[in-house]
């Protein structure tokens, strides 16, 4: 591997770690959690953390769309925007992930944050999520996914769509110029989210949540720029234009389920010289490191285990469901819920709808069982 290739790969992985470190620091400080936000709504009718998540998405949409509008990144090559729309995989994977993250007490990102705070329980969850994720990428679960779910797809490319973004749908429906359609779609989506977010006085009076959400959204944008612009160049060995240090071999932003599988593979096959530290694996490590620094500085680091065998059972089942669902839906609450939505991908909207539905249904069942007891 040439020096140029090595330098670009190192820059992308180091940058991914740095961005995710800040993400972990901010998320731990502000208690950012998608499942927790849904739980707040179902159990208490409180929308504070959900408004924070929605603001982060709005910021990510504006920033990512600006990168695309200016030609700094080619989002059509990203996984969320590929013109093949595997709607059944996205929906069912999202549903399964939503159930799993609720049983496991949080999504992959939340468990990475808890691991940084000393949770051995989250370490176990992450290991089992990584195993299930790897099985869904290349193992038994992957065979099921490829045989029964992925074939149910709509090939938008055959209909002349360059990607599956909402902006492209608008351009095709109205005849608008592609760039104008992108600007209009991004503006409408971001404005709608911002209006809903800031209409609540209580949220407006919490600058920590506002600033935290803004920072998290910007980190998603910077990750797209890092992998899609800085890390995009010519490989001197093959003379091909490639994206360096990404597992998908294209531009990526923050996502944490598949990277757990690739991290496990790297540990298990460490001497395999074809495997290298990637942006995704480095970003997962960065979240843990950022959360660890925050918990140590704030005096919140605590060793934590399982409360009971029932607790262990629920977390293990949830971890396996998260691993399968996250890969099948092409992302988690961060990978699809923030990074995917920032591209205005229709598939990301389907996946997020599934995640929300699965989590809310599970929360309601859990609440019903508690009331019965």
Q: What are the residue boundaries of the structural domains of the chain, listed by start?
A: 3-372
pLDDT given for residue 373 in this prediction:
79
Closest among 138, 351, 132 to 260, alpha carbons compared: 132
175 burial (CB, 10 Å; 0-12 / 13-18 / 19+) is exposed
Task: Check residue 4 and give its pLDDT.
Answer: 54
Output the pLDDT for position 47: 95
Q: Taking CA 71 as the corner, what is the angle to CA 65 and CA 72, rounded to the nearest 5 degrees?
A: 85
- What is the gyration radius of the CA atoms in the chain, in angstroms? 20
Tell me what pLDDT residue 3 has. 54
Residue that has been written with the tokens 């969850």 in this structure: 125
Buried b (16+ CB within 10 A) or exposed e, 113-137: bbbbbbbebbbbbbebbbbbbbbbb
Write phi, then psi, for 84 (nearest 5 degrees). -85, 120
What is residue 244's DSSP assignment? T
Rounded to 5°, angle at Cα 184 from 340 and 82: 35
Give the pLDDT confidence score for residue 5 in this predicted structure. Answer: 57
**Residue 242 belongs to what H/E stretch?**
strand 241-243
What's the pLDDT score for residue 241? 87
Distances (CA, A) of 9 to 15, 278, 368: 10, 8, 50
- 234: phi then psi, degrees, rounded to nearest 5: -90, 130
Instruction: Find all residues with CB under 8 Å of 50, minimum gap 6, and list them.
Output: 37, 38, 40, 41
| Residue numbers in the chain where pLDDT is lower than 50 | 1
Q: What is the pLDDT of residue 1?
A: 44
Residue 40 contacts residue 49 (beta carbons within 8 Å)? yes
Say how far residue 36 (Cα) sits from the centre of its chain.
16
Sign, Cα dihedral of 280, 123, 36, 29: negative
Residue 171 to residue 4: CA distance in whole angstroms: 39
Does the pTM surpass 0.75? The reply is: yes
């Amino acid at each position: 591997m040439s020096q140029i290739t090595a330098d670009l790969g190192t820059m992308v992985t180091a940058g991914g770690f740095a961005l995710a470190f800040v993400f972990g620091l901010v998320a731990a400080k502000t208690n950012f959690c998608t499942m927790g936000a849904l739980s707040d709504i179902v159990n208490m009718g409180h929308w504070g953390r959900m408004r924070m998540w929605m603001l982060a998405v709005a910021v990510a949409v504006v920033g990512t769309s600006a990168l695309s509008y200016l030609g700094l990144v080619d989002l059509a090559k990203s996984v969320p925007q590929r013109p093949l729309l595997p709607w059944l995989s996205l929906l069912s994977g999202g549903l399964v992930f939503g159930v799993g993250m609720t049983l496991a007490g949080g999504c992959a990102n939340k468990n990475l944050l808890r691991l940084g705070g000393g949770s051995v329980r989250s370490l176990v969850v992450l290991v089992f999520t990584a195993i299930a994720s790897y099985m869904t990428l290349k193992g038994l679960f992957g065979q099921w996914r490829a045989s029964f779910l992925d074939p149910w797809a709509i090939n938008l490319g055959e209909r002349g769509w360059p990607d599956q973004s909402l902006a492209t749908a608008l351009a095709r429906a109205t005849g608008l110029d592609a760039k104008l359609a992108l600007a209009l779609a991004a503006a409408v989506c971001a404005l709608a989210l911002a209006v809903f977010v800031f209409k609540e006085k209580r949220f407006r009076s919490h600058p920590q949540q506002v600033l935290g959400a803004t920072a998290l959204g910007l980190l998603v944008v910077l990750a797209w720029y890092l992998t899609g612009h800085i890390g995009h160049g010519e490989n001197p060995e093959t003379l091909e234009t490639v994206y360096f240090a990404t597992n998908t071999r294209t531009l990526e932003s923050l996502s944490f389920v598949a990277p757990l599988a690739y991290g496990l593979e790297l540990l298990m096959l460490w001497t395999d010289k074809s495997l290298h530290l990637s942006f995704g694996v480095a970003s997962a490590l960065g979240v843990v490191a950022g959360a660890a620094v925050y918990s140590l500085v704030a005096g919140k680091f605590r060793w934590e285990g399982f409360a009971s065998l029932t607790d262990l059972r629920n977390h293990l089942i949830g971890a396996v469901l998260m691993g399968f669902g996250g890969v099948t839906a092409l992302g988690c609450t961060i990978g699809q819920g923030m990074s995917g939505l920032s591209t205005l991908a229709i598939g990301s909207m389907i996946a997020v709808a599934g995640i929300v539905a699965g989590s809310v249904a599970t929360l309601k069942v859990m609440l019903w069982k508690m009331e019965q007891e």
